[in-house]
Structure 1
């Protein structure tokens, strides 16, 4: 029995598929809580960005919770206002997440690879976005 066959048998038994399934359940619970909790108002249990809490600066992902809330309630303009770059990049993240879940539930591993120049581009874009958000 090759290691690949053994890996597939183990996947069918449910071990690797547990992570995507747990991720879906956690996401559904989080979405249910966010649906009824307006992050634009104070007095909720939603976490605050650690960078924003410590420095008062906006990180590249600040506004993501508000953006998701606005998207769930059909307000695309407010979601764009909360975090433009993250909203425009979210289809890529959703595709990668969906592919990981799909392959995991089928018992396969999915490990997308990003070349080092791609990693530099992503980090440089995030850094530039973080600087631009705080400069304006």
Structure 2
């Protein structure tokens, strides 16, 4: 029984280790300057010059790892706002695997997909507007 439960926790443990490894890579790379090793650029920004909804997320993650919430919000405020929902989903998944049954999250709410799509679309548009105060969102 205990061995079976521990086997079910192998994947959540692997995702936690992968997250720690990603944090280590981002910390070593320092995407906010040229001091670290280079990370690949956003393909949308590279091809179009526009910020996609995820642009700045690596720099946002780096800033959060250093406790600089204001700078993280500058790089990608939408991603910062999504973090609690991501943690909720991941925590419910881990708990569900531990208990052996699915735990409901915000993703099962009726309007979640539509609301998420609208928020992503609005964020994509407003962060690319070329006039104040929206031009401050461009990274």
Q: TM-score band, normalised by the shorter chain?
A: 0.7 to 0.9
- Which residue of 66, 75, 78 corresponds with 2:68? 75
Does 2:14 correspond to 1:19? no
- Kindly indicate whether structure 1 or structure 2 has the higher relative contact order, using CA contacts under 8 Å at least 6 residues apart: 1
* 1:34 equivalent in alignment to 2:20: no
Give ranges in structure 1 of 5+ residues lacking alignment. 1-7
1:71-128 deviation line (CA, Å, top 9, x unaligned): 1111111111111122122212122112223333455445644345321111011011
Uncovered stretches (5+) of structure 2, i.e. residues with no partner: 131-139
How far apart are the structure 1 equivalents of 2:78 and 2:113? Answer: 17
Determine if contact 1:11/1:107 at 8 Å carries over to the other structure. Answer: no
CA 1:132–1:102 in structure 2 vs 1: closer, same or farther (change >3 Å)? same
Contact 2:31 2:38 (8 Å CA) reproduced? no
Alpha-carbon distance between aligned partners in 2 of 1:100 and 1:36, rounded to the nearest angstrom = 29
Alpha-carbon RMSD across the aligned residues, in angstroms, is: 2.6
For the 8 Å contact 1:51–1:59, the answer to whether it is kept is yes
**What is the rounded CA distance, in whole Å, between the counterparts of 2:65 and 2:6 in structure 1?**
35
In structure 2, the residue matched to 1:84 is 77
Residue 54 (structure 1) aligns with:
47
With normalisation by structure 2, the TM-score equals 0.76
What TM-score, normalized to structure 1?
Answer: 0.77
